[in-house]
């Protein structure tokens, strides 16, 4: 036997599916705190949780007519919000990893290069300018524009494997050019 809360919730969902704006407002008022708590539990970021929940509600508005069983609203809506929270975590992990790699490469380059920092950056810029165009383009998009490998592949209409190999070859090419330049500077 369904409780009065379940009956009210199903009635709100049915009315939302029919386009009743007031029913949707009541549904949001009823579920927003629970959804926010669930997303915060996943992300541990209050600001991001609010944004994610807002995006989840937008998705729910668009897809509520596809919900066949109004009694399944709770699980359905929480799944949408949880998936969005997981996507947010994944995208942040990629950004953090890329920033860590960039910082490590920069630190290693500066430590191994006896030139003052500005000279080291100039050397790096000159080395990048000497790369073959296909490698230079991928290096610049990845490190200067902060784009992901997937985004670069879509932008350049290349398979992800090709983007990865150009990025790898570009790094190796830069490493060899800079090591050669450093060796020449030490022997002068």
Q: Which domains are delineated in the chain?
A: 4-90 (1.10.1740.10), 113-186 (1.10.10.10)
User: Quick check: helix, strand or coil at residue 64?
Assistant: helix
Q: Would you mind telling me the total number of residues written for the chain in this entry?
A: 188
Q: What is the pLDDT of residue 188?
A: 63
* Of 7, 12, 3, 51, the residue nearest 31 (C-alpha): 12
> How many Å separate Cα 109 from the centre of its chain?
27
Mean pLDDT of the chain: 84
Mean pLDDT of the 106-111 span: 68
**pLDDT exceeds cutoff 80 at 26:** yes
Q: What is the pLDDT of residue 183?
A: 65
Distance, in Å, from the CA atom of 49 to the CA atom of 187, rounded to the nearest integer, reads: 56
Q: Which of 60-64, 84-88, 112-116, 172-176 is predicted least confidently?
A: 112-116
Distance, in Å, from the CA atom of 108 to the CA atom of 178, rounded to the nearest integer, reads: 12
**pLDDT exceeds cutoff 60 at 150:** yes
| pLDDT bracket for residue 99 (50, 70, 90) | confident
pLDDT by residue (tens digit) across 34-52?
Answer: 999 999 988 888 888 999 9
Q: Which of 35-39, 61-65, 179-183 is predicted least confidently?
A: 179-183
| pLDDT bracket for residue 179 (50, 70, 90) | confident
| pLDDT bracket for residue 186 (50, 70, 90) | low
Q: Judge whether 36 and 49 are in contact, CB under 8 Å.
A: yes
């Amino acid at each position: 036997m369904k409780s009065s809360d379940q009956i009210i919730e199903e009635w709100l969902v049915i009315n939302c599916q029919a386009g009743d704006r007031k029913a949707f407002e009541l549904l949001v008022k009823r579920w927003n705190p629970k959804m926010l708590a669930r997303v915060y539990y996943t992300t541990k970021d209050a600001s991001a949780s609010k944004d994610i929940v807002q995006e989840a509600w937008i998705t729910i508005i668009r897809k509520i007519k596809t919900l066949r069983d109004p009694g399944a609203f709770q699980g359905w809506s929480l799944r949408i919000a949880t998936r969005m929270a997981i996507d947010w975590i994944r995208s942040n992990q990629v950004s953090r990893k890329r920033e860590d790699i960039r910082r490590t490469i920069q630190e290693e380059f500066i430590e191994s290069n006896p030139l003052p920092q500005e000279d080291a950056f100039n050397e790096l810029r000159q080395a990048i300018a000497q790369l073959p165009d296909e490698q230079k383009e991928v290096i610049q998009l990845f490190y200067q524009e902060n784009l992901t490998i997937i985004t670069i592949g879509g932008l350049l209409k290349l398979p992800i494997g090709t983007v990865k190999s150009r990025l790898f070859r570009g790094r190796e090419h830069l490493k060899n050019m800079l090591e050669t330049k450093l060796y020449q500077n030490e022997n002068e």
